[in-house]
Structure 1
Amino acid sequence: MRKWDCETGRLIGEPWKGEGGGTLALALSPDGKTIACGRVDGSVQRWDTDGKKIESIWTGHSNWVRSLSWSPNGENIASGSTDGTILIRKAESGKVKVGPIKTNQGWVRSVAYSPLGDRIASGGNTICIWDSNTGKLLVGPIKGLGALVESIVWSLDGSKLYSASDRFARVFDSVSGTLLHRFEHDDWLFSVALSPKHNVVACVGYDGVAQLWDTESHKPLGQPFRQEDRELLRCVSFSPDGQYLAYGGNDNKITLWTVQDIAPQLTVCAPIDKNQDITQQETQPEPPSSFLNGDDIMNEGSNDPYDNFFAVRLVYSAM
């Protein structure tokens, strides 16, 4: 794992190394003090944010841990494995609270706690929603997704579930499992993220293409923004205030964008009220001609394009 300074784009200290093979999943605790990581040998390890490994290593999965999710209150951690199971542990002791949940989903590629912490969604060859206290199946399995579900995320109110698989980002009713909408792309998707402040979903995948969508009107925001020589983007995330977007892929780079550069018609200075219409331009703007990555930020010197937004923020990345 690596720790980065987002203001300078520089690596902080040396990479953090642990036993158990490659790091396949990272999850930061809600209080920002602890990082859980999932490894190839099926273990879950924890580190403090200064790079000190917590001694106890959790075992229980027989194969790769591909996904992790903290409960909103920080008391529990859910892990999903390619052995097809989910384990829910007490974050303090590591004691298994629920599970193993045998999902019958093949590889569990993604898990996500609901905003209230009462449910967990999992993605594999289907989508399922589970009671996080009992492990009981509540919704699903939702089938017909075309491929493995690589990424899932809840809406802020917990009423909807977004997923990425094949060429679509799908939206489901989280109570009935009903498909509500599909955002179609030219190539396969690997990750989906929702802005925490606005009605915007971001999707990334093959061929280095990313796209923003309005979740209310289902219209694209700006043009797809593509970077040359990026064959595959695997993960995407918004900053807490919704103004910035980060993604990473197979080229071993993390790239930061200002959301308004991607979608100039979107007002990002304040949360969008549900009664407020989003102005859509009939003619979409040209995609931004430049982007900021670590090298760009270092070269900017004192002319910080983020106005020190990232000065107290860090990025953690898996090797």
Structure 2
Amino acid sequence: MSSSTSKTPAIAPSQTMRGHTDWVMGVAHLAGERRIITCSMDGLLRLWALKSGTQIGEDWRDEYDGMFSMALSPNGEIVASGCGDGKVRLWDVETKKVTGKWTGHTRLVWALCWSADGERVASGSWDGTVRVWDVKRRKNILTIKTGHKEVWAVTYSPDSSKFATGGDDENAVKIWDAKTGELLNTIKHDGIVYCLAWTSDGKKLISGSYGPIRIFDTATWQQIVVIEGHTHVVSAISLSTRLIL
């Protein structure tokens, strides 16, 4: 008896950007432009042209501290980077210079997220805390001891009234009031929660853990969909603006 095996065809990359000397930990696309910014554990940010795959200008440098996370402001003018020394750095996209440094975390900053209005940044650290920063005043306005041993994910709701965190030890997604830091809900998982994404209408929250991707209704916080297929850690989720669930 003969048998046939169907395989998913390989998709060749349109460009390969080379230059970083350590793991690339984050990518941000500049809206309306064919440019991306990358951050790496080599301690550098780099700007790239998507069409040619070449680096634009020099490396963005500060003190040599590996970068583990990055997030672009809603207006595309500022990049926040989370570093191995526990600092959050703010970079001006045009000048490629550091315009602010926030200190307070005692371990590396693994997760960053901007509020929709660009006035706040939430940072999640392996010290188990989330800190909320006022961008204009350049100061920490809220610190939450999450109960996670390490915070792996943090994401604001679209209206910025809440944010969700994911982590280990307490393997769960936790929902917090963004102004008061009050814990609103805890959604238990079987393993570490590595990544989170909120749909643009705020009605669903998506989590990535070890294996399945889970989707929750934010009105009830009940699980409504489980997406199977991955056999290892799901470390990143990105949503299309046309996603319908």
TM-score (ref. length: structure 2) = 0.77
Of 162, 165, 174, 1:119 maps to: 162
Counterpart Cα distance in 1 of 2:101 and 2:173: 29
Counterpart Cα distance in 2 of 1:162 and 1:176: 14
Work out which structure has the larger RCO, using CA pairs closer than 8 Å and 6 or more positions apart in sequence: 1
Equivalent residue number for residue 237 of structure 2: 192
Answering whether residue 182 of structure 2 is matched by residue 136 of structure 1, we say yes
SS in 2 for 1:135: coil
> Could you report, residue by residue, the CA deviation over 1:22-77 in whole angstroms, capped at 9, with x for unpaired residues?
00011000000000000001100011113432343100101010010000000000
The count of residues paired between Structure 1 and Structure 2 equals 197
Counterpart Cα distance in 1 of 2:179 and 2:64: 29
Q: How does 1:219-234 map to 2 (within 5 A)?
A: none
Equivalent residue number for residue 176 of structure 1: 220
Counterpart Cα distance in 2 of 1:111 and 1:127: 9
Equivalent residue number for residue 112 of structure 2: 68
> Could you report, residue by residue, the CA deviation over 1:151-197 in whole angstroms, capped at 9, with x for unpaired residues?
10001111110011111110012243211111011412221121112
Letter in 2 for 1:138: L
> Could you report, residue by residue, the CA deviation over 1:235-283 in whole angstroms, capped at 9, with x for unpaired residues?
xxxxxxxxxxxxxxxxxxxxxxxxxxxxxxxxxxxxxxxxxxxxxxxxx
In structure 2, the CA distance between the partners of 1:57 and 1:198, relative to structure 1 (3 Å rule), is same
> Could you report, residue by residue, the CA deviation over 1:283-309 in whole angstroms, capped at 9, with x for unpaired residues?
xxxxxxxxxxxxxxxxxxxxxxxxxxx
Answering whether residue 87 of structure 2 is matched by residue 47 of structure 1, we say no
In structure 2, the CA distance between the partners of 1:44 and 1:172, relative to structure 1 (3 Å rule), is same
Equivalent residue number for residue 249 of structure 1: none
Counterpart Cα distance in 2 of 1:112 and 1:66: 12
Counterpart Cα distance in 2 of 1:95 and 1:168: 37
In structure 2, the CA distance between the partners of 1:78 and 1:23, relative to structure 1 (3 Å rule), is same
SS in 2 for 1:129: strand
Q: Which runs of 5+ in 1 are unaligned?
A: 200-214, 216-319
Counterpart Cα distance in 1 of 2:64 and 2:129: 19
| Alpha carbons 1:119, 1:129 under 8 Å: kept | yes
> Could you report, residue by residue, the CA deviation over 1:93-145 in whole angstroms, capped at 9, with x for unpaired residues?
221122x10100121101101110101011112100111111111111x21x2
CA RMSD after TM alignment: 1.3
| Alpha carbons 1:20, 1:40 under 8 Å: kept | no
Q: 1:92 Cα deviation (Å)?
A: 1.6
| Alpha carbons 1:139, 1:175 under 8 Å: kept | no
TM-score (ref. length: structure 1) = 0.60
Counterpart Cα distance in 1 of 2:53 and 2:64: 28
Counterpart Cα distance in 2 of 1:186 and 1:43: 33
Answering whether residue 126 of structure 2 is matched by residue 96 of structure 1, we say no
Q: How does 1:1-319 map to 2 (within 5 A)?
A: 1-19=45-63, 21-98=65-142, 100-124=143-167, 125-140=171-186, 142-143=187-188, 145-188=189-232, 189-199=234-244, 215=245
| Alpha carbons 1:162, 1:170 under 8 Å: kept | yes
SS in 2 for 1:190: coil
SS in 2 for 1:69: strand
Q: 1:20 Cα deviation (Å)?
A: 5.6
Counterpart Cα distance in 1 of 2:178 and 2:105: 18
Counterpart Cα distance in 2 of 1:88 and 1:47: 18
Counterpart Cα distance in 1 of 2:117 and 2:86: 25
Identity %: 39
In structure 2, the CA distance between the partners of 1:123 and 1:77, relative to structure 1 (3 Å rule), is same
Any runs of at least 4 consecutive aligned residues in structure 1 with deviations exceeding 6 A, and if so which? none
| Alpha carbons 2:92, 2:99 under 8 Å: kept | no
Letter in 2 for 1:157: D
